[in-house]
Structure 1
Amino acid sequence: MEPGGGDRFLRLLIERGADPAVLEATVRAARGRSEPVAALPEEETRRHARALVRGVVAALETGGPGADVLAAAERLGADRARQGVPVAAFLDGFQAGRAHLVRTLVADGRRLGVPEHLLLDGVTRVDEITTALVHRMVHAHRVAELETARTAREAHVQTLRRLLHGEPAPALAPLDPAGAYHCVVSDVSDPEVAARLEARLTAAGPGLCGLVDGRFAALVARLPVPHGDGPLLVAAPHTAPRDVAPVYELGRRALHAGTAAGLHGMRHLADLALPTVTGAEPALGRLLADALLGGLDPRDPFHRELAATALAYLDHGGRIAPTAAALHVHANTVKYRVRRLQELTGRPLIDPSAGAAVTGAANWWWALRYWLSTG
């Protein structure tokens, strides 16, 4: 490149690569090209897209990919192998993201008047750098794949996958075919985090753990003491190994509901029954909100405050003091807000005289959650 040309292209790459909209579009391109990559959590793809841009920028600044950039490429390749993503599918997603980023840079460069020969030189350098990264990623992927295939662990993970997918499993070791196990699901896709979870879950007894459908899952004999922090884990009641597939699917639905509610730590599947069911029927939630909350305006901050207080009031069994403590307000404030919401809607939140008081309270809870989440 001519003097100053490299700096100009580098500045363009840094500016566009740091743009959240460009990053998200690059992530969508990678996920749209490869189904196995799309099966991973979006944050997993986003994390590696950021690393790709940072690595290319660093290589352009220094004249080539350094040891740290190449090591990051090797980690990416090894991670995908351990997550069960085939190398071809992995590269499809990588190349789709790279192509989208290059197209964006060229289009922006032309719009800003960067000479064509500088753009060509810059794209050529990006291709040289990404080719070097691809070689490292493919090598690390193959090494990790071979290492995994040679271990008994891979056999255990394959058994876990078969059981959770409802497929025949020739051998269940280390599980007892006559035993019963908790099915634990999560959204964790990072192999290092998954390894820490496995150590914690198998400390109390035998189990099968691994990345299934790109996410950490387990069958364990006993659950550890629940923690309120860390990634969300949904644990089902004891189930026979050969009957666990429908429980796994139910656990994934509950995981989605718990994630939407902002929950963390270990949660029992039964405790997430209502959010799981209501989250699967948004049309009914909208119907209930229209029927019960017609007197509220979703654009009015005060009305949203009333609805949030009413939801907390129901979550705390209609008790004023715990609701006030949870919201960090005075008890009289809770009483006023509940009374005001009932005046606006023309209905009591909890009506002990009604024949179906529990159903009525559940309908209110569902309507308020839907209204607050979509307003």
Structure 2
Amino acid sequence: MDDSDRYLRLLLDGVADPGLLDATVRAARARSAQVGELPEAEVRRHVRALIEGVLTSLAEGGGADPAALDAAGRLGSDRARQGVPVAALLDGFQAGREYLVRRLTTEGRRQGVPDGVLLDGLTAIDGVTTALVHRMVHAHRTAELEMAQTTREGHAQLLRRLLHGEPVPRPAPLDPATAYHCVVSEVSDPSVASRLEGALAEAGPGLSALVDGRMVALVVRLPDLPADAPLMVAAPPRRPGELASLYALARRALAAGTHAGLTGLWHLGDLALLTATDGEPDLGRLLADSLLTALSPGDPFHRELAETALAYLDHGARIEPAAAALHVHGNTVKYRLRRLRELTGRPLTAASVPETAHWWWALRTWLDAASR
């Protein structure tokens, strides 16, 4: 029997040696804590298939055969579904490979196989195991993506059902006893939504998905976001089963805020008046026709008067904040308010709460129509 025949016999004997399987299993479980936590029979099932695949591939003198590649793919996929990270998977595989190489080298030398033949064998083992690693990693990542998509779609379906008022007996991963803010955004681009979800997730546990075409999130705590972030409306915290009505209100507030050109994160209550008035455009036009009939939409000065009056009301009927917002002098604000009173015959400053709200509503409606 020549050297090559002795090495071939060594490989074939390894396939049939239960001791080789036992020792390789122990090596893989000892190297990787996550693999070690799996049932021994589960690790043995995959290691047996890989040993047989590697040794058979070497005995046949070619690269990794299809059976070995299939075994590697099953290993990668199964470990992903078992929650074993790819790094831990590779640690266990490398430990098994090292033991296999050491065992074959020691036994080959004991049987008198020349070092040159053993070196060729080790080179071949490297080629086969590299192909198996590539297959394992690919299968692991594919399974992770499939699981992420499945989990994400499941979460999206859960969120849609909750927010549409459908019964959800067990809203996992949400806690039915925990109160969540329902945050509705104007973001519909999935890539932008993904970045926004990351910012929301930093504030605490929750759930997010595209619902009715826009990103919606349920979060325990609201994040700190820059003022120029996309418009988001946050409802008061409620338990999952109580969110549907607030979601509907938040959507209305989002539409009103978008119409008003708002950005950043807003509390639903802070947009109550804006939401209510935005939903009744006919009443707004009626008020504009009643209070601002003396103003002409085509007159730039009249538009300045209306913009100044609205800024004045938006800033608590205070001259200096309104002037700062308009980038004009305080005396300019006073002059414009006086001219508006002369034209309309009605003062802004002495108005009651309902009258002030009517002025604010009329001015917004008039300016919106004038800008078209």
Shorter-normalised TM range = 0.5 to 0.7
RMSD between superposed Cα atoms in Å: 1.8
Structure number with larger C-alpha Rg:
2
SS in 1 for 2:155: helix
SS in 2 for 1:347: coil
Contact 1:181 1:219 in 2 (8 A): yes
Aligned to 2:189: 190
Return the letter of the residue paired with 2:275: T
2 CA distance for matches of 1:336 and 1:150?
Answer: 61
Task: Say yes or no: does 1:287 pair with 2:286.
Answer: yes
Aligned to 1:80: none
Contact 1:232 1:264 in 2 (8 A): yes
2 CA distance for matches of 1:345 and 1:333?
Answer: 18
Aligned to 2:364: 369
Aligned to 1:234: 233
Aligned to 2:77: none
Mean CA deviation greater in 183-192 or 339-348? 183-192
Aligned to 2:336: 337
Aligned to 2:139: none
Deviation at 1:153, TM superposition (A): 2.2
SS in 1 for 2:177: coil
2 CA distance for matches of 1:173 and 1:243?
Answer: 15
1 CA distance for matches of 2:148 and 2:199?
Answer: 24
SS in 1 for 2:203: coil
1 CA distance for matches of 2:276 and 2:160?
Answer: 25
The aligned runs of 1:39-118 (5 Å cut-off) are: none
Return the letter of the residue paired with 1:367: A
SS in 1 for 2:324: helix
2 CA distance for matches of 1:326 and 1:302?
Answer: 18
1 CA distance for matches of 2:216 and 2:328?
Answer: 40
Deviation at 1:243, TM superposition (A): 1.2
Deviation at 1:267, TM superposition (A): 0.9
2 CA distance for matches of 1:343 and 1:337?
Answer: 10
1 CA distance for matches of 2:291 and 2:147?
Answer: 56
Aligned to 1:262: 261
Aligned to 2:304: 305
Deviation at 1:149, TM superposition (A): 7.8
Query: What percent identity do the matched residue pairs reach?
Result: 68
2 CA distance for matches of 1:368 and 1:303?
Answer: 11
Task: Say yes or no: does 1:167 pair with 2:153.
Answer: no
Deviation at 1:150, TM superposition (A): 5.6
Q: TM-score, normalised by structure 1?
A: 0.59
Unmatched segments (≥5 aa) in structure 2: 1-141
Return the letter of the residue paired with 1:219: L
Spell out structure 1 runs of 4+ moving beyond 6 A.
none
Deviation at 1:371, TM superposition (A): 0.4
Aligned residues: 228
Aligned to 1:317: 316
> What does the per-residue CA deviation read over 1:29-87, in whole Å, with 9 as the maximum and x for residues that have no partner?
xxxxxxxxxxxxxxxxxxxxxxxxxxxxxxxxxxxxxxxxxxxxxxxxxxxxxxxxxxx
Deviation at 1:324, TM superposition (A): 0.7
2 CA distance for matches of 1:317 and 1:295?
Answer: 25
Q: TM-score, normalised by structure 2?
A: 0.59
Aligned to 1:348: 347
Name the CA shift for 1:149/1:319 in 2 (closer, same or farther; >3 Å): closer
2 CA distance for matches of 1:337 and 1:320?
Answer: 11
SS in 1 for 2:359: helix
Aligned to 1:140: none
SS in 2 for 1:194: helix
SS in 1 for 2:255: helix
2 CA distance for matches of 1:192 and 1:281?
Answer: 34
> What does the per-residue CA deviation read over 1:204-242, in whole Å, with 9 as the maximum and x for residues that have no partner?
221110011121001111101142012111111111211
2 CA distance for matches of 1:214 and 1:279?
Answer: 21
Aligned to 2:355: 360
Contact 1:226 1:266 in 2 (8 A): yes
Return the letter of the residue paired with 1:316: H
Contact 1:174 1:206 in 2 (8 A): no
Task: Say yes or no: does 1:157 pair with 2:156.
Answer: yes
2 CA distance for matches of 1:213 and 1:147?
Answer: 23
SS in 2 for 1:151: helix
SS in 2 for 1:310: helix
Return the letter of the residue paired with 1:295: A
2 CA distance for matches of 1:151 and 1:283?
Answer: 46
SS in 1 for 2:184: strand
Deviation at 1:339, TM superposition (A): 0.3
Deviation at 1:291, TM superposition (A): 1.1
